[in-house]
Structure 1
């Protein structure tokens, strides 16, 4: 039985795509529970399946994609039974909303900013246009837009990238969602604006108490915004933990590699970053053993033949790696990520002194 605190429960989900008469398996038997009020970050390299996974929560898979197995329960409702756009109307936007990487894909270029927010409020909150306009202006203020009366009648091209992303966030808020999916919403923005958008999302999440899924490949973002982290590789979640557990006690060699490539750990003399050797496996073929084994310095014989099961580290932390088997040889995580918090703190302190 699913706990009442679980908003979304995924069980043995498999997602495939038909590509030129071949089948690509993008999601491979994922099970995951999303808890009320938490911020879950989903991290991994491009192509690991992060966005595909969350698209199944809103019925937004591309036309050649389909769920071939598994269950997705949203507050007890089976989402895999929903097929048409009409079926999804009661969920998409109003219950589970998404903020995408490029705000221009979400905004209509020939409609004013204000009218786009008003339309959403009228649809999802059943208010009159006059009431909706007053609310839209308030949402614009909430997300940090100044001079809202004037900017209400402007078009998307008159806004900067950061301001457009704020408007997309305002539109998502206007839907009053239960779950907000943020699909790399800061990637296309410069560092300063990125920090502002992250701070805004953190504030709004506390204020409106929605549950958040944050998709990113940036572990620095994860540290600043998330409660829990799911690390994805080749269509699977290979490690799941609280943020503290992931940064202080990571267990999967792939997680070790991701942490080793943090910009804060770049070599001081050369400026070089650690890079993961090799490339992810083809998802057209069936994968034997641990998908990361061919790229791992810590792979054992069994990693190439048998898929590792889930090994529990704590009530909130598990990983799929044979290194956690009681009979596995003891292996320490790479030196570069030992005492990670202290190393990053020292680097930040050093930078502050340089800039002082």
Structure 2
């Protein structure tokens, strides 16, 4: 069996709805994807595009007013949409599919010591004794870069910096021994040098433990350094999917072009960044045609009338845009996103250098 055949999770035609003030908001609109074992899949897009909602459907963490209205989610032969209660989800959530959230203080109990929070997870998911759990907890703390782990085992979250708290959240996730690790914007609340350290930590742990990762972010610069595959989300659907190189250097959807054009590495000399005009469509109503049409400089009449199908670009790359139709006019991607490789490499080298100089925080 080849690596491409090692599918760990399959989502097909997922629709997620929320009841909001006597109205129905369709947050996810027919999403399908395959998660390949051992790979890092990045979900990228603006806030509100559906990235976090989609992964919450994988862990049964949708809010009480939300539901998977259509579709299937198959995890190793088990249909996750059939799980309804928290008890049903106990064998999956945390133990098989764990999540790291962007704000560690929402994940850590402020009145419990760091050590007790890690050992609690170890005893629950690994069945270890208290003494064994403490030893393992200290080992996990060391693995995620906590200095003087034995001493800091008995400290409280408020005694840790933001970067160190995020490392503890990662340690707790590792203690679950998950099959799939969902990283929901884990570096958003941190400054740029600490972001780089956390990214490097996640990369090294992923390589060591070989868990499958879904990395949620709006920062395409982060994606370039960590992902194998990228799914670009807009208005509750995936509009482009491919390998990280295909998405960065051969993008085809106008929305992907806009996201790449917004990269900080492409700022003008005066510091001005490109911004995408307009706002996403309301998801309370049915979206007609291409959801990005009203914000796109490349929209054609058909974009306002008919939803584009999937156009295959390569066996690993597809996009939903009428620009790929054989009868569409031929257009080139914006000149601003030419030569991305060199621009990103230069920026990442500078950030890495700054991270080394700062040292662990």
Normalised by the size of structure 1, how large is the TM-score?
A: 0.96
Shift of 1:341: 1.7
CA distances 1:131-172 after superposition (whole Å, capped 9, x unpaired): 111000100000000111110000111111100000000000
Q: Which residue number corresponds to residue 132 of structure 1?
A: 133
5+ residue gaps, structure 2: 353-361
Shift of 1:348: 7.1
Q: Which residue number corresponds to residue 55 of structure 2?
A: 54
Shift of 1:344: 4.0
User: Is the 8 Å Cα contact of residues 40 and 212 (structure 2) preserved in structure 1?
Assistant: yes
Q: Which residue number corresponds to residue 21 of structure 1?
A: 22
Which whole-Å CA distance do the structure 2 matches of 1:117 and 1:345 have between them? 37
Q: Which residue number corresponds to residue 118 of structure 1?
A: 119
Which whole-Å CA distance do the structure 2 matches of 1:86 and 1:346 have between them? 49
**Secondary structure of the corresponding residue to residue 56 of structure 1:** helix
Shift of 1:345: 4.5
Which whole-Å CA distance do the structure 2 matches of 1:344 and 1:265 have between them? 9
Q: Residues 142 and 348 (structure 1 numbering): CA distance in 2 closer, same or farther, change over 3 Å? A: closer
Which whole-Å CA distance do the structure 2 matches of 1:149 and 1:224 have between them? 32
Which whole-Å CA distance do the structure 2 matches of 1:227 and 1:43 have between them? 13
Mapping of residues 67-82 of structure 1, within 5 Å: 67-82=68-83
User: Is the 8 Å Cα contact of residues 193 and 351 (structure 2) preserved in structure 1?
Assistant: no
Q: Residues 342 and 318 (structure 1 numbering): CA distance in 2 closer, same or farther, change over 3 Å? A: same
Shift of 1:343: 4.1
5+ residue gaps, structure 1: none
**Secondary structure of the corresponding residue to residue 58 of structure 2:** coil
**Secondary structure of the corresponding residue to residue 62 of structure 2:** coil
Q: Which residue number corresponds to residue 224 of structure 1?
A: 225
Please give the root-mean-square deviation of Cα atoms over the aligned residues, in Å: 1.6
Shift of 1:340: 2.0
CA distances 1:169-198 after superposition (whole Å, capped 9, x unpaired): 000000000000000000000111111100
User: Is the 8 Å Cα contact of residues 221 and 344 (structure 2) preserved in structure 1?
Assistant: no
Q: Which residue number corresponds to residue 266 of structure 1?
A: 267
2:178 maps to 1:172: no
Q: Which residue number corresponds to residue 234 of structure 1?
A: 235
Q: Which residue number corresponds to residue 151 of structure 1?
A: 152
Q: Which residue number corresponds to residue 195 of structure 1?
A: 196
**Secondary structure of the corresponding residue to residue 57 of structure 1:** helix
CA distances 1:40-82 after superposition (whole Å, capped 9, x unpaired): 0000000000000000011000111111100000011000000
Q: Which residue number corresponds to residue 358 of structure 2?
A: none
CA distances 1:232-286 after superposition (whole Å, capped 9, x unpaired): 0000000001000011100000000000011111111x22111100000000010
Which whole-Å CA distance do the structure 1 matches of 2:350 and 2:102 have between them? 32
Which whole-Å CA distance do the structure 2 matches of 1:119 and 1:306 have between them? 52
Q: Residues 285 and 171 (structure 1 numbering): CA distance in 2 closer, same or farther, change over 3 Å? A: same
Which whole-Å CA distance do the structure 1 matches of 2:189 and 2:21 have between them? 31
Q: Residues 349 and 111 (structure 1 numbering): CA distance in 2 closer, same or farther, change over 3 Å? A: closer
Which whole-Å CA distance do the structure 1 matches of 2:43 and 2:334 have between them? 23
